[in-house]
Amino acid sequence: MRVTIDKAGRIVVPKSMREELGLNPEEPLEIEVVDDHVEISHATGTARLVEGPDGLMAAPTGRTITSEEIRRILEAARERR
């Protein structure tokens, strides 16, 4: 989807994308340059662990995490080592 940057440097994230990603007004976001593009994501905060029905611990996010997101997280963690 093509959008434009206004004179103040703002970009409007279309409503359908905000809804799909669960973005809310005034929510803090992370923005960074990755390779040759800009990535915007939910700001990371403190996570809490809860025990699932299978006995495994998990950090609930309130949304589904995609395989692509997991891959990016793992790659970023490996690069920091």
- Decide if pLDDT at 72 tops 90: no
Q: Looking at the predicted structure, is the pLDDT value of residue 12 above 90?
A: yes
Strand partners, 57: 51
Q: What tens digit of pLDDT does each residue of 15-64 get?
A: 999 888 888 888 888 898 989 999 888 876 656 677 878 887 777 766 66
pTM equals: 0.48
- Under the banding of pLDDT at 50, 70 and 90, the label for residue 1 is confident
Domain locations along the chain = 15-80
Tally DSSP H helices, then E strands, for the chain: 2, 4
- What is the Cα–Cα distance from 71 to 63, expressed in whole angstroms? 17
